[in-house]
Structure formats: structure tokens, C-alpha cells
Structure 1
Amino acid sequence: MAHVNKVHSVRTIGLVARELDKTEDEIADLALGMDPEDGLIWVYSPEHEDGIMAFTYDGIENLEDLIADQEIAKR
């Protein structure tokens, strides 16, 4: 049986930043240690030849956990 990729969509870093009320730089810093297994995908296009971060649903959940951890650490 062939491997089936269950990811059917991703959201760009700009959209995720807006949804999580963070800047793109804050999201990029949080995502530094993330891998594709964590939900980080790089998307390339003529407009983004160097790539732009995008996140799967699981990736967004991981970012939310990282944000929560940061907020707890600030207390």
C-alpha cells in the first residue's frame, strides 16, 4: 500500500501570524526548531524563490503550544 499524505492544505506564515495575533517575525522565531514532522512546510513560488514558511493544522497547534509555554515562562 502506498503512503498517503493526509495534509490537504497549509496556511502561510502571514495568515498564521494574523490568526494568532503575533508578528511574522515572532512566528518565525517560534518555528526555528520545527521540522516537517512538526507541521512546518516551505513553499516556493516565483514571488518567494527563497521560500516562505507555511504550517499544517498540526503545525499551528504546535505553535499555539509554544506560545502558551512562552506565556507561562514569563510569569
Structure 2
Amino acid sequence: MTTHVNKVHHVTTITQVAKDLGEDEDWLRDISLEMEIEDGAIWVYGVGEDGVKAFTAFGTDNLIELIRFYKDNPGLLKR
């Protein structure tokens, strides 16, 4: 029998990622909508909270690729 072992030891909230990358948090939220758990995006829930989007290290790397893509193609994301 094989047991899956989760190797994620931390996640970073979208607020912190936006601060670290110097990007607008709302814009990051918009472009991260297409990310799935397989891409390293998850929701974190706490007591009395609606939840916050967070990223694994792999997810942050994927988000950076999306940032590059949408900055190169700004007409693809309508706000």
C-alpha cells in the first residue's frame, strides 16, 4: 500500500505575495482565478474568516509566470 505524503510545509497568502512582488493584490486575485490546486493555489480558512487565497512555493512560481504572460498580453484580462 502506498500512502501519499504531502510535502508542502508552508503557504504564503496572496496579500504577502502581492507585497513581495510589488503587485496589486486585486489584480493578482483576478489572474489567479484560473489557478487550481495542482498549480499550487489553495484556500486557507480560519476561525470567523471567509478564507484567503494562498500559494505554495510552486504556486508562487506559477503566479509569476501568469504575471509575465498578462503583462505581455494586457488585452487578454479585462477588468
Normalized against structure 1, the TM-score is what? 0.89
Q: Which blocks of at least 5 consecutive residues in structure 1 are unaligned?
A: none
Asked if 1:32 is matched to 2:33, the reply is yes
Which residue in 1 is equivalent to 2:58? 58
For residues 21-73 of structure 1, give each alpha carbon's deviation from its aligned partner in whole angstroms, at most 9, with x where no partner exists.
1121011001101111001110001252x110000001100110011111222
Q: 1:69 to 1:58 in 2, by over 3 A?
A: same
Q: How far apart, CA to CA, are the structure 2 residues paired with 1:27 and 1:33?
A: 11
Q: How far apart, CA to CA, are the structure 1 residues paired with 2:5 and 2:68?
A: 32
Query: Identity percentage over the alignment?
Result: 47
Q: Which blocks of at least 5 consecutive residues in structure 2 are unaligned?
A: 75-79
Which residue in 2 is equivalent to 1:4? 5
- How many residues align structurally? 73
Q: How far apart, CA to CA, are the structure 2 residues paired with 1:62 and 1:56?
A: 10
Normalized against structure 2, the TM-score is what? 0.85
Which residue in 2 is equivalent to 1:13? 14
Q: Given residue 73 of structure 1, which amino acid in structure 2 is its aligned partner?
A: N
More strand by share: 1
Q: Given residue 30 of structure 2, which amino acid in structure 1 is its aligned partner?
A: D
Q: How far apart, CA to CA, are the structure 2 residues paired with 1:20 and 1:42?
A: 20
Cα displacement (A) at 1:6: 1.0
